[in-house]
Amino acid sequence: MASGSLSEVETQVLIAKNLGYISDCGEVEEEIATVQKLLVGFRKHIKQNA
């Protein structure tokens, strides 16, 4: 569920950028990438300890 919500945020940021509502979303894109990595690590941890 969290990764789906994150993908939705990423899509909304890209749409806003393409429509010209925001110009510099580099920091947001970095945060999205960081959260994606955290989620992957969390999933791996849960699978290993299940």
- According to the model, what pLDDT value does residue 15 have? 96
Q: How far is CA 7 from CA 2, 3, 48, 50, in A?
A: 9, 6, 25, 26
Tokens linked to 18: 């393409």
Q: How far is CA 47 from CA 3, 11, 41, 43, in A?
A: 16, 28, 10, 6
CA atoms within 13 A on the CB side of 21: 6
Is residue 3 over pLDDT 90? no
Q: What is the pTM of this model?
A: 0.82
pLDDT digits (tens, 9 = 90+) for 4-41: 999 999 999 999 999 999 999 899 999 999 999 999 99
**Count of structural domains within the chain:** 1
Domain of 22? 2-48
